């Protein structure tokens, strides 16, 4: 009995996906629950497992194909119904009628059994003549054993490699079994595969190997050289294409406006310097800047609730909870995991969750639950050296705070010019429901709370 391998329902907001890589080929045996294919969605990457044991008899959509939720990816047949197992079966079944047709004859000739013994004996060589054919199949089966043996390390490596690492390995023909993993429990990370690709990049692949490779939907076209000028055409990943579409939608549907301010980071740097060692020893994580700004944002949102709202039709939905999205720039594209109930989290809990999000984003192991929802977003371009920017809203949110690099600058302090570590901050808001004065006061309140960390305790 056959079973279809379907594109699973991941979440309400995900309606399509892209086939990143098939882990099995047509004709391969599979076990129930074994990963068959990797899918890319606009938010997460996932593996689709076999719904039953059997043989993958058909692949309906190859690597690189775009598919919808509920669409058939492939078909699994029972072992006995597999194409490879069907060829000997008809021969065996065709002999059954012959054997059954002989049975009445044999019964009718029982009295002559003694006289027919030589005739029965004469058939023995015929049976024996079939033995070499059966024996000749043994070398063929044995010849497959080394191939299966070679697949075991590769399969084991796939199980301990991240989806991003597998994609890079597939594009560059890297054997994951030979890559040393640097992740938890020896897990192979994307950076490990890229390190393995770098020294072997100049090596040319034999033409025979290319001819034997299974044809896939091209993701990357070869570079076309024209003297010193070259071009490379690379297909956007599902996540990158979705990011591009959503950013354009945000600009075309919201009345976005950005207001700026600057924050003196002296007080926070002083607190971090005094307490960073004890904080890390006690909680196991470093005391970063994110937790201070999350606490400051929550305090300011309490005073200006419309910046923690969204528009639905002609109504404003004011949210009295604080799920703060933290933008993370992973190699596969920007993601925004969400700190649930950030107002109830301690500094250590915030820092721990942000660290987990960053690691999971790079490994490709973020879940849909990590990314769903959010009432306000914080993005920090300063970690990449950005001095000033205008962040784009993350719909349906109506506010996003942009943080930037800390730079020593001369500022006036009580009539004196002093050098202070300063950061520019930017608040982009939806002017449809947030007035300019409200946005400016919100950003000023964030500035006040950050410049006086003790005030955060009162919040």
Written as six digits, the tokens of 172 are 């560059």
Say which residues have a Cβ less than 8 Å from residue 419's Cβ, sequence separation at least 6.
408, 409, 410, 411
Written as six digits, the tokens of 208 are 């025979």
Q: ω into residue 211 within 30 of 0, thus cis? A: no
- The SS3 assignment for 17 reads strand
Phi, psi for 77 (deg, rounded to 5): -105, 160
431 is annotated as an active-site residue: yes
- The SS3 assignment for 41 reads coil
Q: Taking a C-beta distance cutoff of 8 angstroms, is the pair 357, 337 a contact?
A: yes
275 is annotated as an active-site residue: no
Say which residues have a Cβ less than 8 Å from residue 190's Cβ, sequence separation at least 6.
162, 164, 165, 168, 331, 362, 364
Instruction: Find, among 379, 378, 393, 403, the residue nearest to 432 by Cα.
Output: 393
* Set 173, 184, 435, 452: catalytic member: 435
In this structure, what is the dihedral angle of CA atoms 49, 51, 53, 59, given to the nearest 10 degrees? -70
Dihedral sign from CA coordinates of 179, 182, 187, 190: negative
Query: Exposed, middle or buried by CB within 10 Å (0-12, 13-18, 19+), for 130?
Result: exposed
Active site residues: 431, 435
């Amino acid at each position: 009995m056959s079973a279809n391998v379907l594109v699973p329902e991941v979440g309400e907001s995900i309606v399509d996906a892209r086939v990143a890589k098939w882990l099995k080929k047509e004709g391969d045996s599979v076990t129930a629950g074994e990963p068959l294919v990797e899918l890319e969605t606009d938010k997460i990457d996932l593996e689709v497992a076999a719904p039953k044991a059997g043989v993958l008899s058909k692949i309906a959509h190859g690597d690189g194909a775009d598919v919808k939720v509920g669409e058939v990816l492939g078909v699994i047949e029972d072992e006995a119904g597999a194409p490879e197992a069907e060829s000997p079966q008809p021969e065996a079944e065709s002999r059954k009628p012959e054997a059954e047709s002989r049975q009445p004859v044999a019964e009718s000739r029982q009295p002559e059994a003694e006289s027919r013994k030589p005739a029965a004996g004469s058939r023995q060589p015929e049976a024996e003549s079939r033995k070499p054919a059966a024996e000749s199949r043994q070398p063929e089966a044995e010849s497959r054993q080394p191939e299966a043996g070679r697949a075991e390390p590769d399969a084991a490596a796939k199980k301990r490699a991240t989806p991003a690492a597998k994609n890079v390995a597939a594009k560059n023909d890297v054997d994951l079994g030979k890559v040393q993993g640097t992740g938890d429990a020896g897990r192979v990370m994307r950076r490990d595969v890229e390190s393995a690709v770098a020294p072997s990049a100049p090596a040319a692949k034999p033409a025979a190997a290319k001819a034997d490779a299974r044809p896939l939907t091209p993701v990357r076209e070869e570079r076309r050289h024209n003297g010193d000028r070259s071009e490379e055409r690379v297909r956007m990943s599902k996540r990158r294409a979705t990011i591009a579409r959503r950013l354009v939608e945000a600009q075309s549907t919201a009345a976005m406006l950005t207001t700026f301010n600057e924050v003196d980071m002296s007080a926070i740097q002083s607190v971090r310097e005094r307490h960073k060692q004890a904080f890390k020893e006690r909680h196991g994580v470093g005391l970063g800047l994110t937790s201070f700004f999350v606490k400051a944002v929550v305090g300011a949102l309490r005073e200006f609730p419309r910046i923690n709202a969204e528009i639905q039709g002609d109504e404003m939905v004011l949210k009295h909870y604080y799920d703060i999205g933290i933008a993370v720039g992973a190699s596969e594209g920007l993601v925004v995991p969400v700190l649930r109930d950030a107002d109830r989290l301690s500094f250590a809990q915030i820092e721990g969750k942000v660290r987990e999000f960053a690691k999971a984003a790079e490994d490709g192991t973020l879940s849909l639950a990590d990314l769903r929802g959010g009432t306000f977003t914080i993005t920090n371009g300063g970690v990449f050296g950005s001095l000033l920017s205008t962040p784009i809203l993350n719909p349906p949110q109506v506010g996003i705070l942009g943080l930037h690099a800390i730079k020593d600058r001369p500022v006036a302090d009580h009539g004196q010019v002093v050098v202070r570590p300063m950061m520019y901050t930017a608040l982009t808001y939806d002017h449809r429901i947030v007035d300019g004065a409200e946005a400016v006061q919100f950003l000023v309140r964030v500035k006040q709370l950050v410049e006086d960390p003790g005030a955060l305790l009162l919040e």
